[in-house]
Amino acid sequence: MTFVADCMLGRLAKWLKILGFDVLFFPKAEDRDLVEIARRDGRVLLTRDTGLIERTAKRPNRLFVRSDVWEDQVVQVLDELELWNDVRPNTRCIECNLPLKTLTRERARNLVTPYVSENASSFAICPGCNRVFWQGTHYGDMEKKIAKLLDRHKKDITG
């Protein structure tokens, strides 16, 4: 499942990409362009705009995002579209929206800090911008936030 997010949902778009999902986001885009992209690419349109929801009432692939808080927005999307099992953190570039390519520790060594090169469990590189991503240092702010999000789902299913 892929997405296009409206202008109000920048943080949601970023976090869905961090979790591995394909999300198009344009800081400035006309509603009709978003609707057209969603139709053309078969993407789910994510929007905070009640007017847009009303105008697209006959279209199937759209979701009204209720909250202003990005964590709640992510949880709503993953809950309602049943995507928790498709979460693959750090597999997509948050700038280019491209799937990352795995990088060996050997090759990553020259591209990251010594701490990261020793302690991360895996590395990946974006084929678009060459930015390097890694997992498993249990150190970064982003990893803590990801863990917290996944925790919310676990609590939901275990009660």
Interface segment toward Zn ion; rule CB under 5 A; list 31-39, 41-49, 86-94, 103-111: 86-94
Applying CB under 5 A, among 9, 38, 74, 93 the residue interacting with Zn ion is 93
Tokens of 111: 């591209």
Q: Is 95 in the site for Zn ion (CB under 5 A)?
A: yes
What radius of gyration do the chain's Cα atoms show? 17
Token match 């925790």: residue? 151
Exposure class string for 129-153: b at 16+ Cβ within 10 A, else e = eeebbbbeeeeeeebeebeebeeee
List the one residue out of 10, 125, 12 whose CA is nearest residue 78. Answer: 12
Exactly one of 4, 13, 19, 126 binds Zn ion (CB under 5 A); that residue is 126
Q: Which of 1, 8, 69, 129 contacts Zn ion by CB under 5 A?
A: 129
Interaction of residue 7 with Zn ion, rule CB under 5 A: no
Piece in contact with Zn ion (CB under 5 A), picked from 43-51, 63-71, 103-111, 123-131: 123-131
Residues forming contacts to Zn ion in the complex (CB under 5 A) are 93, 95-96, 126, 128-129
